[in-house]
Amino acid sequence: MFEAYILPVLIVVGVGLAAGVMLMLAAKFMAVEVDERVEKVRACLPGANCGGCGYAGCDDYAAHIVSGEAPLTACPPGGTAVAQAIGAVLGQEVGEMVPMVAVVNCSATKDQAVHPMDYIGRKGCLAASLLYNGDMACQFGCLGYGDCVDACKYDAIHVVDGLARVDKDLCTGCGACSVVCPHNVISINPHAAHVVVACSNTDKGAQTRKKCSTGCIGCKKCEKQCEYDAIKVINNLAVIDFDKCTSCGKCVDVCPQHVIENCFKGAVAGPAEDEAVAAEA
């Protein structure tokens, strides 16, 4: 009687009880203290998990802020407002943040860059770049297969006519596009900088001409023109020092290849360009 009916019940109850008590003790003595501030900081963040801060998503960044390992101002999409909100939670003072924006350092559309081959493989910049560094003669330019478009969480970058273009109003400067670009053609610049060099080619001038009708040839006209010593040709490529640049736009006018762009003008001309695209479609 006891062995057949009661003992099995006792065994099951015993095992269940032992497991339950063990778990209860474990939960009590090994509980992890969750810092309330992490939740609060996390609530301040935009929650797009874009990775612009350099951590694995907003949760991770919040945890690192609270533990003091991450700066408060590392969230590009949130900008100053979020940094100050976090500062309020943690009781810290936060200064102004410089808003950033992604810039595509290439201005060659599909027709302007020379394509020595037809690439018919998987449509993607990384895939294309694995084959002889891309289907363009230029090894530095925008391939136009849109890996950056997929990476963008804010719908701020689009490929038009074989060239990635950034919508400055939507771009938060998180840098996700810059990370995935196999040619490293996207840089993160201060939002206030209006003049940018839309080329990344460091080949010598003569070679650049053969590969692209709109590449920087390193002629140094911009360098001579600049009154503020802000633009320098380094390694056959014009580079702007944003600390010195006043966005006067004189270099834009003298560039024979039209690779220096005034983004401010571009922004004004933006809607007209959109209409042109819409008309084409």
Partner 1 sequence: MNNTVFFLALLMETILVSNVVLAQFLGICPFLGVSRKLDSAIGMGVAVIFVLLLATAVTWPIYTYLLYPKFAYLQTLVFILVIAALVQLVEIFLARFVPALYKSLGIYLPLITTNCAVLGVTINCIDFEYNFVTSLVYAFGIGVGFLLAMVLFAGVRSRIDESGIPQSFRGMPITLIAASIVSMAFMGFSGIATGIFGISI
Contact residues for partner 1 (CB under 8 A)?
3, 7-8, 11-12, 15-16, 19-20, 22-23, 26-27, 30-32, 122
Based on CB atoms, which residue is closest to partner 1, 20 or 47?
A: 20
Report how far residue 192's alpha carbon sits from residue 5's, in angstroms, rounded to the nearest whole number: 82
Helices (H), 30-135: 36-44, 57-66, 79-90, 125-129
- CB of residue 50 vs partner 1: minimum separation in angstroms? 18
Closest CA to 215 of 270, 134, 139: 139
- CB of residue 6 vs partner 1: minimum separation in angstroms? 12
- CB of residue 244 vs partner 1: minimum separation in angstroms? 44
Based on CB atoms, which residue is closest to partner 1, 56 or 276?
A: 56
Based on CB atoms, which residue is closest to partner 1, 20 or 54?
A: 20
- CB of residue 19 vs partner 1: minimum separation in angstroms? 3
Radius of gyration of the chain (CA): 27
Based on CB atoms, which residue is closest to partner 1, 24 or 170?
A: 24
- CB of residue 32 vs partner 1: minimum separation in angstroms? 5
Consecutive H or E run containing 2: none
Based on CB atoms, which residue is closest to partner 1, 30 or 279?
A: 30
Q: What sign does the CA torsion over 168, 170, 172, 174 have?
A: negative
Burial class (CB in 10 A: 0-12, 13-18, 19+), 40: middle
Q: Which two tokens stand for residue 57?
A: 């998503």
